[in-house]
């Protein structure tokens, strides 16, 4: 029976070890495990003492039992303290341990505790044996009574108290002399009631561990459920309500409520509380704190998502929709109109002269003007109208179920006429409005609809009417321009841009002294007028590539005809940062002195420093610079002394007026200006013999015109000799040179 009790206690130790591993109330589990192990040792030694024959082994086992009983009684002190939280145990443990240590010494060295003999199978004890066993037990009993005093006794606690009392009484009775078979029996079974009590404690604690583990798992599941629901909830209030439901269900308290309050910098704070005033344990309080942090974090995430979505689809300055939002809305509006068979109109509004006004008044004034435009559009179109800032000073309004063209023009006219620009500028900024309409049956293309409204707005600016609609007439013109630009791109790519040469002629000898290279577009076997495609080439930037091709053609013409050549350079070409590199790539690195670059006065309106640096670099290599169409541009007189010029080319309008007094005076002034700056003069557009004679009399050395040679792919020949030329006071060019020299 003793060995059976020992096995039961060892199994109890295994249960206590499981309790200890779970980590719940580990201090109680530690001391209870140690106490149970000592009781198991007592039972095991008792069993072995009854199984071995009397002798030295029996005495050793009896001594071991005495030591283990002392250890069990000593370990009961920290075990009781772990369960009750009582104080003042240190000196009691030291005293009891010392007492049992002294008894063990007396046991081994004297007969006062153990008489060292066995009579009739019963061990004989000394006179101090009861005191050695019972006095520490009395001290422990007093400590236990003081520790449990005033505590609420649970069922488990009552079982432990009862079994502990029974075990104590049995131990006391087993120590009452004289030794007998009954006392030996009590000495073997006294620990059994206490073992049963500890079994109940272990089972209760393990059950509590499992319940606490299940509860914590339920709390984790509840937090995960709220976290998953937070991704689907549309508002923070929905998340809060879901969290309250989980807390009420888990804590079995229907009075749980929660609050969600916003803080500064888009933060939130959440609190949960029991309206009924329930006291929460540590795990419950931690669960509610985790739940509150999760709700606050979800609310902050939703607020951040809302701000990001607003920033992605809202203009921060005017608080209007931006281009991305416009694209989405217009696509949905067109799909809806396609189902309803209704019309959709787009009004594209642009501020005239905004850049100039913004530079004059500052960016803050410009921002306030844009905000004013946004408010004006809402005031005219209504607060429910869809208005977006397309970018810069451009605004787009979408009109669903659009009325007829006349009503749309009237609406656009109201937008333009009712806008009042702030400030006291003489020329006020105004709104130009372009209109495009989508009708059922048209292709659903939001970007094309906005682009058509943009083109209509540009037409309104070009025509200065302020309001224009993208109708059939404008569509045809845009289509024609688009087709022409596409054809021009193909022509530049396929080598359809060819070079024609027009002669520069000596005014006295009529000898060809140079060639001007002119770009011509040959398509489908005929030449296109330069006025039909050159402006388009400049606007599209194709003039840069055309210019490179003309420089290469000029190089070939110079080598073929052995004459200096002049190449026209557009303002767009001269504005290129690598203009000099382009010229060198096309012309080569030699014979720079046989190249003249003709720039128009409009090119001088570009960045003066950049233009001056590019021209100076070419001049340093030997290139001559000619100012073309002199007198028809702007700011040319102030630039004559700044730019490295060599030649002035008098525009044909002044040559044609040479027969009048005023025209002759203007020409003389230009010649005097050129002489003052040391510039050569070339007169353009010479068409009549009278013009040629007058220019010779004024001292113009070089002339150019259709009478002297039209542009051609080969070396041009001067036109027919005039039949009669008025005889000047000095010998005319025909008298001084009887034959015409034409170099070939």
C-alpha count within 13 angstroms, C-beta hemisphere, residue 44: 14
392 contacts: CB under 8 Å, gap ≥ 6: 354
For the stretch 347-381, what's the b/e string if a residue is b when 16 or more beta carbons lie within 10 angstroms of its beta carbon? bbbbbbebeebbeeeeeeebeebbeebbebbbebb
The whole-angstrom separation of Cα 464 and Cα 461 is 5
- List 395's β-bridge partners, or say none: 349, 389
**Collapsed DSSP state (helix, strand, coil) of residue 686:** coil
Long-range contacts of 630-634 (CB under 8 A, 24+ apart): 630/601, 630/670, 631/666, 631/670, 632/601, 633/600, 633/601, 633/602, 633/604, 633/605, 634/601, 634/602, 634/604, 634/605
What percent of the chain shows pLDDT beyond 90? 29
- Which tens digit of pLDDT belongs to each residue from 709-724? 888 888 755 444 444 4
The whole-angstrom separation of Cα 460 and Cα 467 is 5
The whole-angstrom separation of Cα 473 and Cα 470 is 8
Any idea which architecture 318-470 has in CATH?
2-Layer Sandwich (3.30)
Any idea which architecture 496-736 has in CATH?
Alpha-Beta Barrel (3.20)
The whole-angstrom separation of Cα 407 and Cα 718 is 62
The Cα-based distances of 365 to 112, 372, 708, 719 in angstroms read: 112, 10, 59, 62
The whole-angstrom separation of Cα 642 and Cα 607 is 13
pLDDT score for 99: 83
pLDDT score for 210: 78
C-alpha count within 13 angstroms, C-beta hemisphere, residue 391: 4
pLDDT score for 321: 92
- Which tens digit of pLDDT belongs to each residue from 148-182? 665 666 676 677 677 777 777 777 777 777 767 77
Other CB atoms within 10 A of residue 440 CB: 12
DSSP H or E run through 630: strand 624-630
Say how many residues make up the chain: 744
Q: Are 5 and 45 in contact (CB under 8 A)?
A: no
The CA-based diameter of the chain, rounded to the nearest angstrom, is 178
pLDDT score for 47: 76
| DSSP, residue by residue, 487-541 | HHHHHHHHT-EEEEEEEEEETTT--EEEEEEEEEEEETTEEEPHHHHHHHHHHHT
Q: What angle separates helix 2-22 from helix 26-51, to the nearest 10 degrees?
A: 160
Structure tokens at 697: 């009399």
Q: What are phi and psi of 288, to 5 degrees?
A: -65, -35
Q: Are 696 and 736 in contact (CB under 8 A)?
A: no
pLDDT score for 424: 62
Q: Are 46 and 188 in contact (CB under 8 A)?
A: yes
- Global pTM? 0.56
Q: Are 367 and 316 in contact (CB under 8 A)?
A: no
**What does the CA dihedral 548, 551, 555, 556 come to, rounded to 10 degrees?**
70
Which residues in the chain show pLDDT less than 50? 24, 718-744
Nearest to 501 by CA among 712, 718, 682, 703: 712
Nearest to 268 by CA among 243, 232, 248, 246: 243
For the stretch 137-171, what's the b/e string if a residue is b when 16 or more beta carbons lie within 10 angstroms of its beta carbon? bebbbebbeebbeeeeeeebbebbeebbebbbebb
């Amino acid at each position: 029976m003793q060995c059976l009790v020992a096995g039961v206690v060892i199994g109890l130790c295994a249960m206590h070890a499981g309790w200890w591993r779970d980590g719940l109330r580990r201090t109680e589990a530690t001391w209870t495990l140690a106490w149970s192990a000592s009781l198991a040792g007592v039972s095991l030694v008792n069993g072995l003492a009854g199984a071995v024959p009397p002798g030295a082994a029996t005495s050793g086992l009896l001594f071991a039992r005495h030591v283990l009983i002392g250890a069990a009684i000593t370990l009961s002190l920290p075990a009781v303290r772990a369960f009750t939280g009582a104080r003042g145990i240190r000196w009691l443990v030291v005293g009891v341990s010392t007492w049992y240590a002294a008894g063990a010494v007396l046991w081994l060295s004297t007969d006062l505790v153990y008489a060292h003999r066995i009579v009739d199978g019963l061990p004989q004890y000394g006179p101090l044996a009861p005191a050695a066993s019972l006095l520490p037990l009395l001290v422990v009993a007093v400590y236990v009574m003081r520790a449990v005093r005033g505590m609420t006794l649970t069922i488990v606690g009552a079982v432990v108290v009862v079994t502990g009392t029974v075990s104590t009484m049995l131990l006391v009775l087993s120590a009452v002399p004289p030794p007998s078979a009954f006392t030996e029996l009590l000495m073997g079974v006294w620990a059994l009631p206490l073992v049963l009590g500890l079994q109940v404690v272990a089972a209760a604690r393990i059950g509590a561990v499992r319940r606490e583990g299940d509860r914590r798992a339920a709390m984790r599941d509840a937090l995960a459920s709220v976290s998953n629901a937070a991704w689907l909830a549309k508002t923070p209030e929905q998340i809060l309500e879901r969290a309250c439901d989980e807390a009420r269900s888990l804590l079995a308290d229907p009075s749980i409520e929660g609050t969600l309050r916003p803080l500064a910098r888009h933060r939130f704070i959440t609190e949960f509380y029991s309206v009924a005033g329930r006291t929460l344990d540590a795990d419950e309080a931690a669960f509610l704190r985790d739940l509150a942090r999760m709700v606050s974090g979800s609310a902050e995430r939703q607020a951040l998502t809302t701000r990001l979505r607003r920033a992605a689809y809202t203009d921060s300055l005017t608080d209007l929709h931006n281009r991305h939002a416009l694209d989405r809305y217009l696509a949905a509006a067109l799909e809806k109109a396609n189902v309803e068979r209704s019309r959709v109109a787009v009004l594209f509004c642009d501020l005239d002269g905004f850049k100039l006004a913004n530079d004059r008044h500052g960016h803050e004034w410009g921002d306030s003007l844009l905000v004013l435009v946004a408010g004006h559009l809402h005031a005219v179109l209504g607060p429910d109208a869809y208005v977006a800032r397309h970018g810069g000073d451009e605004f787009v309004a979408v009109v669903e179920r659009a009325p007829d063209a006349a009503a749309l023009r009237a609406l656009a006219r109201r937008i333009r006429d009712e806008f009042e620009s702030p400030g006291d500028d003489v020329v006020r900024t105004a709104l130009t409005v372009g209109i495009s309409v989508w009708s059922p049956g048209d292709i659903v293309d939001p970007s094309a609809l906005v682009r058509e409204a943009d083109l209509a707005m540009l037409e309104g600016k070009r025509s200065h009417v302020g309001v224009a609609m993208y109708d059939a007439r404008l569509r045809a013109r845009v289509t024609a321009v688009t087709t022409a630009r596409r054809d021009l791109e193909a022509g530049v790519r396929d080598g359809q841009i060819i070079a024609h040469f027009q002669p520069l002629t000596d005014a006295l000898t009529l000898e060809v002294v140079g060639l001007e290279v002119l770009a011509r577009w040959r398509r489908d076997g005929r030449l296109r007028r330069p006025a039909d495609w050159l402006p388009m080439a400049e606007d599209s930037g194709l003039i840069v590539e055309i210019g490179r091709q003309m420089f290469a053609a000029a190089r070939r013409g110079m080598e073929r005809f052995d004459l200096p050549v002049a190449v026209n350079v557009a303002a767009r070409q001269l504005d290129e940062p690598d203009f000099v590199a382009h010229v060198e790539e096309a012309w080569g690195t030699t014979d720079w002195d046989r190249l003249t670059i003709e720039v128009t006065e409009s090119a001088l309106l570009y960045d003066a420093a950049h233009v001056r640096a590019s021209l100076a670099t070419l001049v340093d290599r030997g290139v001559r610079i000619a100012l073309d169409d002199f007198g028809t541009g702007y700011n040319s007189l102030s630039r004559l002394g700044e730019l490295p010029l060599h030649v002035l080319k008098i525009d044909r309008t002044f040559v044609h007026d040479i027969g009048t007094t005023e025209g002759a005076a203007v020409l003389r002034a230009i010649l005097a200006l050129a002489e003052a700056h040391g510039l050569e003069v070339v007169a353009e557009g010479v068409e009549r013999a009278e013009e040629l004679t007058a220019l010779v009399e004024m001292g113009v050395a070089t002339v150019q015109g259709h009478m002297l040679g039209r542009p051609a792919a080969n070396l041009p020949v001067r036109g027919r000799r005039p039949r009669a030329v008025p005889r000047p006071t000095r010998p005319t060019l025909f008298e001084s040179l009887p034959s015409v020299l034409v170099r070939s």
